[in-house]
Amino acid sequence: MILHLRKNVSARDKKDLLRRLALRGVQVHYSPGSDEAILAAIGDRKAIEEENLEAHPAVARVLPLDTSFKLASREFRPERAEVRVGDLAFGGKRIHVMAGPCSVENREDLLALARELKEGGASVLRGGAFKPRTSPYSFQGLGEEGLRILAEARAETGLLVVTEVMDTRDVELVCRYADIVQVGARNVQNFALLKEVGRTRKPVLLKRGMMTTINEYLMSAEYVMSGGNYDVILCERGIRSFDSATRNMMDLASVPLIHHWSHLPIIVDPSHGTGHWRWVSPLALAGVAAGADGLMVEVHARPEKAYSDGDQSLLPERFRNLMSDLRKIAAVVGRTLA
């Protein structure tokens, strides 16, 4: 249920309402940033209805919450949310670009690339310290050493850092170094991991799974938010299809659809969405035109020598050209590139 509280509700009446809900085993979440007090009462619907909340002196009106995802819905928060990360706000007028290599390979190369990305206009440095790979014999990442390198690049360039966490045991470690914690496509329904990052207060970048419906995707966001962490940024990175011409099928329709269903910001990752550098820039431009709140692109100084995903990585020069084109598209849709 969505409860709209009366204006100038007394502290006594509000306390009584919360007490009654707690006795029913109901979980209460406040809608952040709402002009009027809105809260979601989540629990046994029959038990909530038996409380006759419409008659309570603290309640102005009661609305059913029929979507499977509650906290991520527009009913809970009618206006678009902004997720703040440092000085950046995802979901506002400014479009932010996350860029960097698929994997942190060594200190010298990452620092050099981070300088180029900063000069090119990126806001956030991406790079994997822990890598989920199809083969157990492929490069798995540098672990904490990679996290330290990312932190050093942030200290030198001012770029914020996003990196993936794969294991509940590593959440605290990754949070120590990262500004944004990424849950990758393979872990989108790893519910133990979603619950664990939901208990942190670190912004979460949640990637859509390769075979995840939009409803299932928003339910994964719900897992994070139900733990009290509302700072979720969604990321469309393509879904698996019957056609092998590209690595995945870039589902750009998900961007306006999610904006309609949910208040959460969403960015697009055309690198994984296509699997080839040649198609990254056109899909990045299309993503911004479709309403994306940001981009994540892979960039590598020597893609042919990359430990992973070299084929879909832009050269720094191509990244700069993309940023120039993005500014033009952003202006057309009434936004600016940070």
Mean pLDDT, residues 187-191: 97
pLDDT band at 43 (very low <50, low <70, confident <90, very high): confident
How many CB atoms are closer than 10 A to CB 246?
16
pLDDT band at 74 (very low <50, low <70, confident <90, very high): very high
Q: What are the two backbone dihedrals, phi and then psi, of residue 297, each rounded to the nearest 5 degrees?
A: -130, 145
pTM confidence score: 0.93
Q: How far apart are the first and last CA of the chain?
A: 38
- Residue 33: is its pLDDT beyond 80? no
- Residue 32: is its pLDDT beyond 80? no
Q: What is the pLDDT of residue 36?
A: 63
β-bridge pairing 59-63 and 83-85: unpaired
Q: What are the two backbone dihedrals, phi and then psi, of residue 65, each rounded to the nearest 5 degrees?
A: -115, 90
Looking at the DSSP assignment, which residues form a beta bridge with residue 59? 5
User: 138 near 103, Cβ under 8 Å?
Assistant: no
- Residue 50: is its pLDDT beyond 90? no
Residues 236-274 have pLDDT tens digits of 999 999 999 999 999 999 999 999 999 999 999 999 999
Among the ranges given (44-48, 52-56, 291-295), the one the predictor scored with the smallest mean pLDDT: 44-48
What are the domain boundaries of the chain? 2-63, 83-337
Q: Which CATH architecture has domain 2-63?
A: 2-Layer Sandwich (3.30)
Residues 284-312 have pLDDT tens digits of 999 999 999 999 999 999 999 999 999 99
Q: Please give the residue that has the higher pLDDT: either 64 or 126.
A: 126
- Residue 34: is its pLDDT beyond 70? no
Report d(CA 139, CA 146) in Å as an integer. 13
Question: CATH topology for 83-337?
Answer: TIM Barrel (3.20.20)
- Categorise residue 101: left if φ over 0, alpha if ψ from -120 to 50, beta otherwise: beta
Six token digits for residue 193: 């991991």
Report d(CA 268, CA 287) in Å as an integer. 6
**Residues in contact with 19: Cβ distance below 8 Å, sequence separation at least 6, in sequence order:** none
pLDDT band at 109 (very low <50, low <70, confident <90, very high): very high
Report d(CA 335, CA 291) in Å as an integer. 10
If DSSP codes are grouped into helix, strand and coil, which group holds residue 313? coil
Looking at the DSSP assignment, which residues form a beta bridge with residue 206? 183, 234
Q: What are the two backbone dihedrals, phi and then psi, of residue 277, each rounded to the nearest 5 degrees?
A: -60, -30
- Residue 35: is its pLDDT beyond 80? no
β-bridge pairing 38-42 and 27-30: antiparallel
Q: What is the pLDDT of residue 318?
A: 98
- Categorise residue 8: left if φ over 0, alpha if ψ from -120 to 50, beta otherwise: left
Six token digits for residue 125: 């440095």
